[in-house]
Amino acid sequence: MTGVTDAAIAVLLGGTLALGLLSVLSALPRWRGPSLERRIAPYVRDVVADDALPSGILPAVGVMPVHGRRLWNRLHELLDRILGGGETLRLRIAQAGLAQTPAAFRGRQLAWGVGGLLAGAVVVVLIAVSGRMTPPAVLLPVIAAAGTTVAYDMQLTARARARRARLADELPTTLEFLALCLSAGESLLDALRRVSAIGTGELTEELRQTVLAVRTGSPLADALSETAARLQLSGLSRATDQIIAALEHGAPLAAVLHSQAADARDEAKRVLIEQAGQKEILMLLPGTNGKRYLAGR
């Protein structure tokens, strides 16, 4: 056991030294400066394809050649293959309201995994120094890394689910506000601008992005469809389809929005009744959150 303790102390001291050296190197301007390819890429766009440019140079994410990828990017790709990525991850990020790209999210997730691995390694070293080392303790860094990686992904899913619930709660009021603006004689775009300018909440923020898309040249119907597809709310999707159909056929938009707001409220009541049925034992307990929630409704 003395040899294991000596090895643990050596690993602890060596790791501390390596961490200090890496911190000093990361602070040097030579290491912190942009790479050569990033500095010259904007000036050679006429001879280099956009797909060959590094990420961050163009509005769309570029793809570098395989031989030019770094170890961190390869770890991103490995994490994408293990946990899944692409459009599903992009959709969850949009539903959570985060201003991140899937690559940036995977980078942070990988950083959390590395942090968990290091924390587990430190715990193993401390266990070895205290003389209580056991064979199962060797798996602690791997378990900690996997746990932090999965927890970070689950945190994104929970955040997206909670934000979608808030969006569903705000939908009826927002639709009625839009219907009121339309009844006052405003156009649909003006009504969206008014609601996005004076309203607060998650759905209002999404309407601001819709108005911004229209101002930058997107058709109103396409901007509304993109918002509905990004959020994937059943009530919002139905309202968007009805609005687009009314715009195409010249139907009165105010009546359409009033009916969609009523449908959204009915759906909210149905969901609330289903939740109460699933937690009927909890509703009998005094002072529970569920009972206060129903009382508030």
Encoding tokens for residue 225? 């469809």
The confidence score (pLDDT) of residue 135 equals 79
Euclidean distance between CA atoms 192 and 177, whole angstroms: 9
**Could you tell me which residue, 239 or 33, shows the higher pLDDT?**
239
- Could you tell me the pTM of the whole model? 0.66
Torsion of CA 219, 221, 222, 227, to 10 degrees: 120
Torsion of CA 117, 123, 128, 131, to 10 degrees: -160
The confidence score (pLDDT) of residue 63 equals 42
Give the tens place of pLDDT for each residue, 188-241.
888 888 888 887 888 888 888 888 888 888 888 888 888 888 888 888 888 888
């009165």: which residue's tokens? 252
Highest mean pLDDT among 18-27, 59-68, 95-104, 185-194: 185-194
Give the tens place of pLDDT for each residue, 117-164.
888 888 888 887 777 777 787 888 889 888 998 898 899 989 999 998
Domains in the chain (CATH in brackets) are: 1-54 (no CATH), 163-296 (1.20.81)
> 3-state DSSP call for residue 47?
coil
